[in-house]
Structure 1
């Protein structure tokens, strides 16, 4: 990184922190601090909702996911627009009518205190873990690629977020997220245009798509009922709908975004805006990954994208074995570039088909070499992370973008980490204050609860930093966050659906069913019985089914007395 990159990176992040702190200083009451004064417009809500979901993991992992596996991951988001409609029609009117600060307040009015407390605790557990991962994700990747100290990075990212989130509450989160989304959109668009510019002169965008399609990267829809395949149309439209309903409808980090709306209509418009824009945004981010794949069809790519893992193997007795694979890979790259240039210039259909088959064979051989390299890395260091999907895009940025733009793209990644983490800490602090602390300490003045919210937000910020410092890199970070959510979300959504629609089910049945369901879902996930997206549907169906059965088994006198 050059000096100009440091200036761009530092200046962008410092502006966001100072702007958010300045614009929202002096929140004196709970409504201002926790609901941002309830005066947010629809576009602020829409961007804030998107920024909360679009963490650094989105911009690091998603292009790498597309590079390796193609566009199929976009199916994960197919259920989101359906969920937005349901939330606008059911959830938002109820929350606004009851004037709640958190989603879980409603459950006490419908059931009882212990059900409200249970759902709040389930939220705090999963979102507390997720907050740590959203800090850890960019930190571990940047530390591996740039050689920065991982612990220091975790602390720096966490402290920057804590400063303005504790200072300004919900409004600070919403205000800064507009700037962060502007940086993110600008950075990703510039990266996309630069990749196209780096392709050979006669490779147009349509030809680039043709190259990607010839290698199976443009297969968007999978209508199979293969349970071993995580991403199909059905898992996205069904499991994805339940995940989105749970996340946007019951997760306080998202509910708090639209509770700040000026009116029901403004909140609804913000969510519809998110529903319309989210799938195209994810499609575009995946497309950036596809263009990185096409770029490396004409340029040499590393055998393994994680430099820390490569350093481990090069310092081991297996270094020569790894170097031999690199030599094979370089020879393959020369063949690939030659074949791709011929493929894009020929007008003969038969010759094009023959070249396509040869290119596919080369890419399959390259994938085999990458798998062999992972095996060698594991032999050199059994603790090493061999999955390098999360490193593909950052490797491209650091090795190919011009000075200044590297700083901008790193600012994109860190801005995304800060925006998502800020929403999570804000929601964790609010839920702890309203659902646990306020409910047990009795009536105090507004100033007391604002101060308590700040202290709880700070506490959760410290916990998130600690989780980040002890976390391990999983298969793919964007999957990890969704897996954590899927373990808890279905259960919580089922509780809310029972509250909304099945009025004869009472608190005792719901509370017992929720405990049983959570234990079953954790076990099902542990034995890997089904793809994680289906856990949302399973959890929702289980808690509703068990609660209905338990309610029917309770004595009628007990039913009436609840």
Structure 2
């Protein structure tokens, strides 16, 4: 299957235009603060679109319709947890970080628990970003390889190099403004796809609902309190913890809080960007459900090699290539790349900021000049982007890159949220008590993440009985509970010794 010449031109022009637009910000006279926070002068709507684009990676673009096509709307429950997490962010997190006078999210952890907490959080954040960049690059290449026969290493390399160029040279302004454009392209393209599906149905748009309803496609999942299955409540709790982690300890979000002109503007952009994800994720789930009805009504349009449910993630790209008008197809393929590029560019910029603020300024030179800081940021961006690209190439041939990403993300980042909440909720927990809590939490996270691999067959009794999505939930709760118990125990012990 091949793209038409027009579609290839549209795709190529879009990619070149995004890179050139991002690079154009490098011609402005900038300080390191401009590079990391845009000088605190970026408009609210652009920051909000950037937050939204960070939510939507190429994994979301392909996986959400594929998930709805395969099963139902259980995954949409994740989006329903966002409003609560966003309110907590607006009320507590945005003021906290804007008042800290540091571009690093992990400066707070050092103030609260000491240097070890900052080192732990910043190093594991960097590892998480490398795993994220590599996974997104690889998963982006898979369906395009299947549909067009494009070489996987070639797709990874071209996409990675394009993002590294504009993210490294353009800084946070390039990231935010390209994110805003890519978010608009993504939403417009998705709406166009849905309208074409609906009005191409043999018996009209309502046939989508009739077919889907008969197959229970609109179900949000079981409402049983069963935490071994993907129930409504499990996904809701999982979503709440993941989104608290995003808003509370993810450097890429904290930088956007600092990029706004005022605290009020930062709060508005956070609400706008996070809440925008809800209707857009609903749109993607509805596209997946509509595709199910579309190919049920016209099964002859779907080739036999894509009819198995294991090919659900390839259905949407296949529809884009075969059913959309010439030109629109190229733009939609570009929007798939846009979704991945926005997340990768964010990871590159936030990682460089962490390297400068948490490591270079902390160990090498406390008060570097703006020129020295800019040099560090550009070198760090290039290195992190390059390693992320190598990780993507290394994943080529891995049986389940998505499962590998989930396991790595849980291990690398699961303990940071618990540590942050421990310090934020209680002023009585001491550094050593927090460290023990984090250690216990990481053990739980590793056990839950790796038990499906390590404890199989006759050793299954040692494995985790819980659903994998509870990994971050139970790991975080372990850190909180252990930290609170230790602080209470030592407080009482100290009181007893003083008598």
**What TM-score do you get using the length of structure 1 for normalisation?**
0.81
| Selected match of 1:548 from 459, 484, 490 | 484
Q: How far apart in 2 are the matches of 1:448 and 1:480?
A: 37
Shift of residue 221 of structure 1? 4.7
Q: Which residue of 1 aligns with 2:473?
A: 537
1:81 to 75, 80, 83: 83
Matches for 1:117-266 after TM superposition, within 5 Å:
117-200=119-202, 202-203=203-204, 205-230=205-230, 232-266=231-265
In 2: Cα distance, 1:238 partner to 1:493 partner: 14
Moved more, 145-154 or 19-28: 19-28
Q: Does 1:512 align with 2:448?
A: no
Measure the CA separation in 1 of the matches of 2:30 and 2:439.
38
Does 1:447 find its partner at 2:371?
Answer: yes
Paired with 1:437 and 1:551, the residues of 2 have a C-alpha distance of 33
Give the conservation status (yes or no) of the 8 Å contact 1:154–1:469.
yes
Equivalent residues of 1:390, 1:476 under 8 A apart: no
Tell me what 2:37 maps to. Answer: 35
Q: Work out the CA distance in 2 between the residues paired with 1:548 and 1:27.
A: 49
1:429-462 deviations in Å (ceiling 9; x for gaps): 1112211222100232121111101111111111
Task: Judge conservation of contact 1:217–1:290 (CA < 8 Å) in 2.
Answer: yes
Who is 1:312 aligned against? none
2:327 to 383, 393, 404: 404
Q: Secondary structure at the match of 1:286?
A: helix
8 Å CA contact 2:66–2:316 kept in 1: the answer is yes
Deviation at 1:400, TM superposition (A): 2.0
- Displacement of 1:413 in angstroms is 0.4
Deviations 1:319-365 (A, max 9, x none): xxxxxxxxxxxxxxxxxxxxxxxxxxxxxxxxxxxxxxxxxxxxxxx
Question: What is the CA-CA distance between 1:249 and the residue it aligns to?
Answer: 1.6
Cα gap change, 1:476 to 1:483, in 2 (>3 Å): same
Gaps of 5+ in 1: 306-365, 372-386, 558-562
| RMSD value, Cα | 2.1
Match for residue 383 of structure 1? none
Query: C-alpha separation between the residues in 1 aligned to 2:356 and 2:350?
Result: 10
Q: How does 1:491-510 map to 2 (within 5 A)?
A: 491-510=415-434
Q: How far, CA to CA, are the matches of 2:262 and 2:26 in structure 1?
A: 21
**Distance in structure 1 (CA, Å) of the matches to 2:197 and 2:476:** 43
Q: Deviations over 1:511-533 (max 9, x none)?
A: 23213321221111212422232
Q: Do 2:63 and 2:313's aligned partners in 1 also have CA atoms closer than 8 Å?
A: yes
Deviations 1:236-285 (A, max 9, x none): 32221111001222111222222211111111111111232211111110
CA shift, 1:408, in A, is 0.9
Q: Give the structure 1 partner of residue 5 of structure 2.
A: 3
Query: CA separation in 2, counterparts of 1:52 and 1:172?
Result: 14
Aligned to 1:296: 295
Conserved in 1, the CA contact under 8 Å of 2:39 and 2:259?
yes
- What's the secondary structure of 1:103's corresponding residue? coil
Equivalent residue for 2:337?
A: 414
Please name the residue that 2:457 is paired with.
Answer: none
Report the secondary structure of 1:222's partner residue.
coil
> How many Å separate the matches in 1 of 2:170 and 2:236?
37
Determine the C-alpha separation between the residues in 2 that align with 1:219 and 1:239.
Answer: 18
Question: Shift of residue 481 of structure 1?
Answer: 4.9
Change beyond 3 A, Cα 1:304–1:554 = farther
Calculate the TM-score normalised by the size of structure 2. Answer: 0.91
Q: Post-superposition shift, 1:76? A: 1.9
Tell me if 1:68 matches 2:70. yes
Query: Secondary structure at 1:227's aligned position in 2?
Result: coil
1:474 CA displacement? 5.6
Whether the 8 Å contact between 1:243 and 1:533 is mirrored in structure 2 is no
CA contact (8 A) 2:98 2:257 kept: no
> Which one has the largest radius of gyration?
1
Pairwise CA distance, 1:488:
4.2
Q: Who is 1:271 aligned against? A: 270
Aligned partners of 2:210, 2:26: CA distance in 1, in Å?
49
1:388 shift after superposition:
2.1
Say whether 1:394 aligns with 2:393: no
Unaligned residue ranges in structure 2 (runs of 5+): 453-463, 495-499
Q: How far does residue 541 in structure 1 lie from its aligned partner after superposition?
A: 0.9
Whole-angstrom distance in 2 between the partners of 1:505 and 1:85:
25
Residue by residue, what CA displacement relative to the aligned partner does 1:30-65 show, whole Å, maximum 9, x if unpaired?
211111111122211211011012011111111111
The 3 A distance-change label for structure 1 pair 543 and 276 is: same
Q: Verify the 8 A CA contact 1:27 1:33 in the aligned structure 2.
A: no
Shift of 1:490: 3.9
